[in-house]
């Protein structure tokens, strides 16, 4: 069977996450063994020599699926006919900062990138934002690219979902693959709501398996919400290999059919689901069915869940209002 060929643009490709993600995209772990890839890598001018070194290493891997590599500091060259644009390039936070502190620093990048996506990318482009604060950066890019349907913009809560699954599996003493439907609601931030009430372990409600509800409501949620900060404290740098792994998982989820009965977490533009303002980039439970990405509706929240949901929604509304007042949307 003839293989499909796609162009994948990655911004900030010489950074930490770039170094961990490119090899996995090129090996086929993101789009599958039937898809050949051309990488179109964007970096700041001063990082192009380092990027050249990364490209040499990619060549040295002799990946059968990797058909071309473009290195550039020009947005329109990077995004030309791109089917996937993975927006990593931006400044990471340092110890003591919240991700929203990066709004002013990184927000501007996403206006230019949104415009370039609209001008140069393929008509079926999907934009996946990793750079923080990723929900609101995706909102900025989406608003700068009004000619592109808003359902093509995504931001990543896959890392939070993976972290939450791992914590639940450790506590329950089960294999991580037995934890399913672990929805992260809202913002990729310290207000996110990792919804253990609606998650499953071996097909049963988490609360049937882990009966220490105080742990679930307290330490579990806090650990997931604060994991990024804990990694920065320990490593002196923000998470990179796990972030790249999550981006691979997240895009894999978008482009592959979701197994029956399962959902994945993804930030995407609301159409009013669950009372979230239309157009806000919010993390919902999703499925990919027949190639289409759907938000799964009808999940119920108890009083605890409703309170957590409101906190993260209010924070995202605040970020939206802040970028509005900065003239970014």
Ligand X SMILES: O=C([O-])CC(=O)C(=O)O
Ligand Y SMILES: NC(=O)C1=CN([C@@H]2O[C@H](COP(=O)(O)OP(=O)(O)OC[C@H]3O[C@@H](n4cnc5c(N)ncnc54)[C@H](O)[C@@H]3O)[C@@H](O)[C@H]2O)C=CC1
**Contacting positions for ligand X (CB under 6 A):** 92-93, 99, 132, 159, 228-229, 231, 238-239, 243
Contact 150, 279 (CB under 8 A): yes
Residue number with the shortest CB distance to ligand Y? 15
Cα–Cα distance, 131 to 237 (Å, whole number): 14
3-state secondary structure of 309: helix
130 is in an annotated binding site: yes
16 binds ligand Y (CB under 6 A): yes
| Contact partner at residue 231 from ligand Y, ligand X, none, CB < 5 to 8 Å by partner kind | ligand X
Based on CB atoms, which residue is closest to ligand Y, 88 or 216?
Answer: 88
From candidates 216, 243, 269, 328, binder to ligand Y by CB under 6 A: 243
188 belongs to the catalytic site: yes
Task: Tell the smallest beta-carbon distance from residue 120 to ligand Y (Å).
Answer: 15
92 binds ligand Y (CB under 6 A): yes
3-state secondary structure of 163: helix
232 token code pair: 């920065």
299 is in an annotated binding site: no
Contact 13, 42 (CB under 8 A): yes
85, β-bridge pairs: 9, 127
Task: Tell the smallest beta-carbon distance from residue 45 to ligand X (Å).
Answer: 25
Based on CB atoms, which residue is closest to ligand X, 92 or 114?
Answer: 92
Task: Tell the smallest beta-carbon distance from residue 153 to ligand X (Å).
Answer: 18
Catalytic residue among 80, 126, 188, 287: 188
Cα–Cα distance, 176 to 172 (Å, whole number): 10
Backbone φ and ψ of 36, nearest 5°: -85, 150
User: Which range binds ligand Y by CB under 6 A, 2-10, 37-45, 177-185, 200-208?
Assistant: 37-45
3-state secondary structure of 258: coil
From candidates 239, 245, 265, 312, binder to ligand Y by CB under 6 A: 239
15 is in an annotated binding site: yes
Query: Cis peptide leading into 133, omega within 30 of 0?
Result: yes
Angle at 108 between CA 107 and CA 114, to 5 degrees: 90
Question: Which residues are within 8 A (CB) of 96 and not within 5 positions of it... i.e. 6 or more apart?
Answer: none
179-180, strands of its sheet edge to edge = 179-180, 200-201, 204-205
Report the binding-site residues: 12-18, 93, 99, 106, 113, 130-132, 163
Report the binding-site residues for NAD(+): 12-18, 106, 113, 130-132
Residues of the shown chain interacting with ligand Y in the complex, contacts defined by CB under 6 A = 11-12, 14-18, 42-44, 47, 88-93, 109, 130-132, 134, 156, 159, 188, 238-240, 243
Q: Which residues does the annotation mark as catalytic? A: 188
């Amino acid at each position: 069977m003839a293989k499909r060929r796609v162009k994948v643009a990655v911004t900030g490709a010489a950074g930490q996450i770039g170094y961990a993600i490119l090899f996995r995209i090129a090996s086929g772990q993101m789009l599958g063994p039937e898809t050949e890839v051309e990488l179109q890598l964007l970096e700041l001018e001063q990082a192009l020599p380092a990027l050249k070194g990364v490209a040499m290493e990619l060549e040295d891997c002799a990946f059968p699926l990797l058909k071309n590599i473009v290195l550039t500091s020009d947005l329109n060259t990077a995004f030309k006919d791109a089917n996937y644009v993975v927006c990593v390039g931006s400044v990471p936070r340092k110890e003591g900062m919240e991700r929203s502190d990066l709004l002013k620093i990184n927000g501007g990048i996403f206006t230019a990138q949104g415009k370039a996506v609209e001008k140069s990318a393929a008509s079926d482009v999907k934009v996946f934002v990793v750079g923080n604060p990723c929900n609101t950066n995706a909102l900025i890019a989406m608003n700068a690219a009004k000619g592109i349907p808003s359902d093509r913009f995504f931001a990543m809560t896959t890392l939070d979902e993976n972290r939450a699954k791992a914590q639940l599996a450790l506590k329950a003493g089960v294999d991580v693959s037995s934890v399913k439907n672990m929805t992260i609601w809202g913002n990729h931030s310290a207000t996110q709501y990792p919804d253990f009430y609606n998650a499953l372990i071996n097909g049963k409600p988490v609360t049937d398996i882990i009966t220490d509800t105080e742990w679930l409501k307290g330490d579990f949620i806090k650990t997931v919400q604060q994991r990024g900060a804990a990694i920065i404290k320990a490593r002196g740098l923000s998470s990179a290999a796990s972030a790249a792994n999550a981006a691979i998982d997240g895009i894999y989820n978008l482009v592959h059919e979701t197994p029956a009965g399962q959902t994945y977490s993804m930030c995407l533009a609301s159409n009013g689901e669950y009372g979230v303002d239309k157009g806000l980039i919010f993390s919902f439970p999703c499925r990919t069915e027949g190639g289409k990405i759907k938000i799964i509706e009808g999940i119920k929240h108890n009083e605890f869940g409703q309170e957590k949901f409101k906190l993260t929604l209010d924070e995202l509304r605040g970020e939206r209002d802040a970028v509005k007042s900065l003239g970014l949307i």
